[in-house]
Structure 1
Amino acid sequence: MVAKDSQVFISRVIGLPIVDAAGDQVGRVKDVVCYLRTDGKAPRVKGLVVELFARARIFMPIIRVRDITPNQVAILGQVDTRKFQRRESEILVAADLFDRSIERTNRTKILDVSMHQVRNREWELLSVALRTTTGVGRFGLGGRTPPKVVGWREIPELILKTGRTAAHLVAEFSDMKAADVARELHDLEPESLAAVVDALDDETLAEAIEELPEDEQIELISQMDTARAADILSEMDPDDAADLIKDLPQDVAEDLLQRMEPEDASDVRRLLVYEEFTAGGMMTPEPIILDTGATVAEALAHAREESLTPALASMVFVTRPPLETPSGRYVGAVHFQRLLREPPTTLVVNMLDDNLEPLHPQAPLAQVSRFLATYNMVVAPVVNDDGALVGAVTVDDVLDHMLPDDWRGDQMDRPATEVNHGAL
C-alpha cells in the first residue's frame, strides 16, 4: 500500500496492469486525469485512463484505486466499460504535460510528474521533474543537465488563471458539496450554465442534479444530447434517476433507458414498477448484501466503502445467493454498531437482529416513517413476497418524500448562510 505523502511518479504508473478484487487483469493504465483548483491548491487527481483488452479506453475514478505497487494497480468494485470522454477542464498528465516546454527558449521540458496520496484514496499532484538542454555539447549535439525536481507551483500550466470561465467554475466546484454545486448551477445564466454543464464530469454533475428542484432537473436533462443524459442518469442514485425518468415523456424516458448501462437501467426499471410514495418507490437497490459465510471483518470492509452514504453504511443485510437485488432468500440484518463490538472472525449470521421485521415494497410512506421512528433506525430492509431482498429505504429517502414538493427550490432561493445553519 502506498504510504500517505510518499510520491509516485506517473511515468512509472503508465503501462501498469489494472487488477480487480479477484486478482484478474482487466486492462492497463494509459494516463492520469487531473484538474486544476482555485486558491493555490494543488491539482487533484481525478482518475485513470485505462485501456481494456479490446483497445477501448475507459475512465477509472481514483477513489476506486485500492493500491499502487511497482507491478500493478489494484482496484475495487466493477469496471464501468463506457468509453472515456475527456472534459474541457481536465488535464491528461502524460498527453498534455510530458515533454512540454516551460520556457520560451524551449530548453526546459517536463520529464515527469509525481502525485501523492493526501487522504484515503485522494491524490494530488506534488512535484515535476524537469530537464534543461544547455546548448551545443560534444559532437555538435545539445548537452543536458541532470533532471531537477520542483514543486508543482513552479509550472504555469498547473496554476489556474483568475477569471470566471467554465474551467474556473468547475475548479471551484471540486471542493464543494453537491448541494452547494447545485446552488451555483441554479444561479448561473443560461449561457454560462451550458458551458459549465459541458465541462463538468458526469459524477459531479449527477450528484448536483440530484440536489436541484425537479423542474430544473428535467430542464437540464432535456437540454443534453441523449448519450450524455443517459451517462448522467447512470451516475445518479437509482431511486433519484427513477424519480426523474418518471417525469419525462414516455418515449424520451425509454430512449434514455435503452442507452444507459444495462445494469443501471435494470435497477431503474425495477424501481419504476412501484408507486412513488411506497417503500419500493423510495428505496435504493444497492445496500450492503453479504452471504451467510461472511465475517465481521468482511462486513466492516464493505461498510468502509466511500461511495456509500452514512445511512446505507449503518446496516448490512444477509441473504442467500445471489447477492444482488433481487437477492436470494433474505436471512436478516446486522447493525454497524454491533459489528464494532464483535471479533473480526465472528460470522455476521450469528449476530442478526431478530426483532427487525422487513418492510414490504408496497408499504406506504406513513408506515415506512413510523417504522424508522419506532426502531430508531436510519435504514430498513425491503423484502418482496418471494422472500427476496429488493432494496433498502433510508431516512433521507423518506425525508425527500415528506417535505413539500418545492423544498429544494426554496433552498435555492435562500442565502447559503441560512441553509448551512439549518434553516428550512
Structure 2
Amino acid sequence: MAAVNRVFAAQLAGLPVFGPDGESIGKVRDLVAGLRLDQQAPRVLGLVVELATRRRVFVPMLRVTSIEPNAVTLATGSVNMRQFHRRPNEVLVLGQLADARAELGGVRVTVADAAMEPTRTRDWVLAKLAVRERSSRLGLGRRRSSLQVVPWTEVSGLSLGDLTEQPQGAGQLLMLFDTMRAVDIAATLRDLPVKRRHEVADAMDDERLADVIEEMPEDDQKDLLGYLAEERAADILEAMNPDDAADLLAELTPADQSRLLELMEPEESEPVRRLLAYSSDTAGGLMTPEPVVLSPDATVAEALARIRNPELPAALATMVFVCRPPQATPTGRYVGCVHFQRLLREPPADLVASAVDTDLPALRPGATLTEVTRYFAAYNLACGPVVDAGDHLIGAVTVDDVLDHLLPEGWRETGLHDVRSADPMKSEEWERA
C-alpha cells in the first residue's frame, strides 16, 4: 500500500474505488471497525463499497493497495460479493461513531470524525478521533467549540454498549448526506442499527426524509413511519409523491391508514385517497396524479419551461398532456399528448394544440400490470396517460412505476443484479473475526 500516515473517514466517503487494472468498481460508503473490550484503538477491518448495481459489499483492508486523495485502489484477488451485513462486534465509523457522545479528561465531547493509521503489521487502527466539546450553554453569540484531534485511548464512552444505548445527534452524518442522492442515503440507513436510523430520521427535514423513504423497501418504510409521531408521519406523507404515499399507506392497517389520512391536509390527502381506490397492480394504482398538464392555448415555450423543472422526474418530463380546464386531475376533457421531442422541433411561439398526438391510445385505470407493460413496449414510451370513462385525465403511469412492480420483491436490498463471486471469500473471512 502506498505510504499514508493518516486518513480521516470523512475524506474516504464517496471516493471512487478502482481495481488493479484501473476498472471502476464502486464508491466507498463507510469503514468497518472491530471494537475492543479494552481502551486500545480498534482495528479497521475493511471498507463498505457500493457497487454500480447499488449492492454494498465488504472489502478487507488487506485488499487495499493504495489510498489517494481522489481514489482507492484494490489488489488482485477475490472479494465476497454478498450483501454487506454488520456483525454484532463491528461498528460503522461514519454511520455510528460520527456524532457519538464521549468524554475527554472529564469534559463532554462529540465525535466529529475518526482517523485510521497503519501499523507495522500492515493493519490499520482508528488511532485518532476529531472531537468537539459539548456545552449546554447555547447563549447568543457563543462560538462553536473548535475541533481537537486526540488519541483514541484518551477518549472514554465509546464501547459498543455506549453506542447502542446513548442518544446521538446526526449533524456529521447529515453533512455527508448533503452530497448523496436519496437512493444512496436509503442504502446507508439500511446498514445502520435501528436506534441510529431513527436518530437520523429525527434530524432530517421532512422533504429530505420523504425522498429517502420513497427509496426504501416496504418493511423499512413501515418501520420509520411507525416510529415517527403521527403528526410528523402525516407531514412526511404529504411531502412524498402521491403514488408513493398511497403505496405506503396501502401496507398499513385500515385504522392506521384512516388516521394518517385524516391528519393530512385535505388537498394533499385527496389524490392519495383516489389512488387507494385502485388495486396496486392496475394502471390506476401505478399512476401518479401529478403529470404535466396544459391547456390547448398554451405555447410550446410554456410546455418546455414546465418540463425543464429540475424537480420533475425524468420519465414525467418526456410527455405533456393537453386537456380542457381544469388542469388539475381529474381534468376536463382529455385532448391528447405532446412528446417532448416534438416540442423541441416546434417554434416556441406556436400553440401546443398544433403538436398534439391524438392517435396514441390512453390507458384505462383498470388496465392490469401485464396490459400496461405491453402498452409501454408496443409504443416505446417512458410515460403514458390514464383516462377514465368520462374522458378525463386522472394521471400518468411512468416506466419506473412499471419496473418497480416487475422486479422481484426485495430488489432494493440486493441491487439490480444478484452478483456473486465464482470463488466466495475464503482467506478474507478471518479478517472480520
TM-score, normalising length: structure 1: 0.60
2: CA distance, partners of 1:288 / 1:158:
49
1: CA distance, partners of 2:416 / 2:315:
25
Matched position secondary structure for 1:316: strand
Per the alignment, residue 234 of structure 2 pairs with 230
Letter paired with 1:233: L
Per the alignment, residue 172 of structure 1 pairs with 176
Q: Does 1:335 align with 2:339?
A: yes
2: CA distance, partners of 1:225 / 1:205:
14
Per the alignment, residue 300 of structure 1 pairs with 304
Per the alignment, residue 278 of structure 1 pairs with 282
Q: What aligned pairs does 1:4-153 form with structure 2 within 5 A after superposition?
A: 100=141
Per the alignment, residue 185 of structure 1 pairs with 189
Per the alignment, residue 54 of structure 1 pairs with none
Per the alignment, residue 411 of structure 1 pairs with 415
Aligned-residue RMSD, C-alpha: 2.8
Matched position secondary structure for 1:284: coil
Q: Please tell me whether the aligned partners of residues 334 and 392 of structure 2 are also in contact (alpha carbons under 8 angstroms).
A: yes
Per the alignment, residue 420 of structure 1 pairs with none
**Post-superposition offset of 1:157:** 7.8
Per-residue Cα deviation, 1:258-304 (whole angstroms, up to 9, x for no partner) = 11122220110000011111000000000000001100000011111
2: CA distance, partners of 1:273 / 1:381:
18
Q: Please tell me whether the aligned partners of residues 186 and 412 of structure 1 are also in contact (alpha carbons under 8 angstroms).
A: no
2: CA distance, partners of 1:165 / 1:265:
32
**Post-superposition offset of 1:238:** 0.8
Letter paired with 1:378: A
1: CA distance, partners of 2:332 / 2:368:
24
Per-residue Cα deviation, 1:19-76 (whole angstroms, up to 9, x for no partner) = xxxxxxxxxxxxxxxxxxx76xxxxxxxxxxxxxxxxxxxxxxxxxxxxxxxxxxxxx
- Number of equivalenced pairs: 270
Rg comparison, structure with higher value: 2
TM-score, normalising length: structure 2: 0.58
Letter paired with 1:216: D
Q: Please tell me whether the aligned partners of residues 169 and 203 of structure 2 are also in contact (alpha carbons under 8 angstroms).
A: no
Letter paired with 2:301: A
2: CA distance, partners of 1:412 / 1:316:
30
Letter paired with 2:408: P
Change in CA separation of 1:362 and 1:158 when aligned onto 2, cut-off 3 Å: farther
Q: Please tell me whether the aligned partners of residues 243 and 275 of structure 2 are also in contact (alpha carbons under 8 angstroms).
A: yes
Per the alignment, residue 24 of structure 1 pairs with none
Per the alignment, residue 128 of structure 2 pairs with none
**Post-superposition offset of 1:185:** 0.8
Q: What aligned pairs does 1:316-335 form with structure 2 within 5 A after superposition?
A: 316-335=320-339
- Alignment partner of 1:288 out of 292, 302, 309: 292
**Post-superposition offset of 1:161:** 10
**Post-superposition offset of 1:411:** 2.9
Letter paired with 2:260: L
2: CA distance, partners of 1:182 / 1:331:
40
Moved over 4 A (4+): 156-165, 412-415
Give 5+ residue unaligned stretches, structure 1: 1-37, 40-96, 103-155, 416-424
Worse overlay, 257-266 or 271-280: 257-266
Letter paired with 2:251: D
Letter paired with 2:321: F
Matched position secondary structure for 1:331: strand
Q: Please tell me whether the aligned partners of residues 322 and 353 of structure 2 are also in contact (alpha carbons under 8 angstroms).
A: yes
Letter paired with 2:377: A
Per-residue Cα deviation, 1:297-349 (whole angstroms, up to 9, x for no partner) = 00011111121101001110000000000000000000001101111111001
Give 5+ residue unaligned stretches, structure 2: 1-9, 12-137, 151-157, 159-167, 420-433
Matched position secondary structure for 1:339: helix
2: CA distance, partners of 1:221 / 1:396:
23
Per-residue Cα deviation, 1:162-204 (whole angstroms, up to 9, x for no partner) = 9995111111111111111001111111221121110011111
- Alignment partner of 1:265 out of 263, 269, 286: 269
Matched position secondary structure for 1:367: helix
2: CA distance, partners of 1:314 / 1:159:
49
Q: Please tell me whether the aligned partners of residues 292 and 319 of structure 2 are also in contact (alpha carbons under 8 angstroms).
A: yes
